[in-house]
């Protein structure tokens, strides 16, 4: 008694893209990126476990926290079992590849990742009844593996050893002076943080905007549209998303041993990624070419690339 009755008049599928195409794209994303993350997680453990005798707190702490993170996500119904497993792998990768074995696991990308989780979890629960009535609330099962990978997958891929080769090659092609190998690790970490900032800002802006932002507008035309429309934004949602992204960037300053200017680059790139997400939503997603998972993944890639370029020309 007192519970809101579901609105059965709302259609089950309201996206421009067909349901079959959307599922196919999400499966490809999980198949390709999920396989890379799985293989890299195993390789990361292969490299880390031999050092467990000398650095047990960091090695076993990283494993324990990653398992606990996946378990907490599952218990809180923030993700499906597959989504929680993907989150655990990403947590493991971010912890081991942004920290030093002699240091605390808190001094890694684990801290901004934890900030992301708390902020997005609270934003998702905010105004839940309103979103339920409008048919915009997240599934009660939580985020799927595709959604987790779309939002967090590239932050982990930014730290892959293959990325340093790609960065060196890219800058050698576009810059006459190239870039020294010693700077690549810093660029990779700034890219990782930018992707986390964008993922946080995107989720928080959408959830807060849908709950409290009022009638949204399309970024490309500034015309009012219905809540939940692809590419729609609200002023309140955008401000909330940018503020949440700022919290994640600030967490990265201390945790990832970054300078303020590096965190500022990550924050700026993540904010541009948020706008790029809305632009993709208002154009290619509204035309039914790609689904929301690919839009989210592309936006984190965009934020990371912008961060790398900004670091090269503004910091380095």
pLDDT in tens, 220-261: 888 898 887 888 899 999 999 999 999 999 999 999 999 999
Grouping H, G, I as helix, E, B as strand and the rest as coil, residue 314 is helix
Taking the domains of the chain in order of start, what are their residue ranges?
Answer: 106-315
Phi, psi at residue 207, to the nearest 5°? -70, -45
**Measured over all CA atoms, what is the biggest interatomic distance in the chain, rounded to whole angstroms?**
70
* Separation between Cα atoms, residue 301 and residue 201, nearest integer Å: 14
- Residues 177-218 have pLDDT tens digits of 555 555 788 889 999 999 999 999 999 999 999 888 888 998
The CB-side HSE value for 169 (13 A sphere, CA atoms) comes to: 5
Q: Say if residues 91 and 113 touch (Cβ distance below 8 Å).
A: yes
Q: How confident is the model at residue 166 (pLDDT cuts 50, 70, 90)?
A: confident
- Residues 34-49 have pLDDT tens digits of 999 999 999 999 999 9
């Amino acid at each position: 008694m007192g519970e809101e009755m579901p609105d059965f008049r709302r259609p089950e599928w309201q996206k421009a893209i067909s349901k079959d195409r959307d599922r196919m794209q999400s499966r490809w994303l999980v198949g390709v990126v999920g396989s890379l993350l799985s293989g890299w997680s195993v390789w990361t453990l292969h490299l880390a476990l031999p050092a467990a005798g000398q650095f047990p707190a960091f090695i076993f702490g990283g494993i324990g926290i990653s398992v606990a993170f996946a378990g907490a996500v599952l218990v809180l119904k923030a993700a499906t079992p597959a989504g929680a497993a993907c989150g655990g792998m990403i947590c493991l990768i971010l912890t081991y590849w942004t920290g030093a074995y002699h240091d605390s696991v808190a001094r890694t990308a684990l801290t901004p990742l934890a900030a992301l989780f708390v902020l997005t979890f609270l934003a998702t629960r905010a105004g839940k009844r309103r979103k339920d009535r409008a048919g915009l609330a997240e599934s009660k099962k939580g985020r799927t593996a595709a959604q987790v990978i779309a939002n967090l997958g590239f932050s982990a891929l930014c730290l892959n050893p293959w990325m340093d080769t790609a960065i060196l090659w890219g800058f050698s092609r576009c810059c006459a002076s190239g870039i020294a190998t010693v700077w690549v690790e810093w660029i990779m970490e700034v890219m990782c943080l930018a992707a986390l900032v964008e993922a946080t800002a995107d989720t928080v802006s959408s959830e807060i905007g849908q709950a409290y932002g009022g009638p949204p507008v399309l970024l490309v035309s500034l015309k009012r549209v219905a809540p939940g429309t692809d590419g729609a934004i609200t002023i309140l949602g955008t401000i909330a998303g940018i503020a949440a992204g700022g919290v994640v960037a600030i967490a990265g300053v201390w945790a990832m041993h970054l300078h303020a200017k590096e965190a500022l680059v990550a924050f700026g790139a993540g904010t541009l990624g948020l706008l790029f997400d809305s632009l993709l939503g208002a154009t290619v997603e509204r035309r039914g070419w790609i689904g929301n998972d690919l839009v989210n993944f592309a936006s984190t890639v965009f934020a990371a690339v912008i961060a790398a370029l900004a670091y090269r020309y503004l910091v380095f």
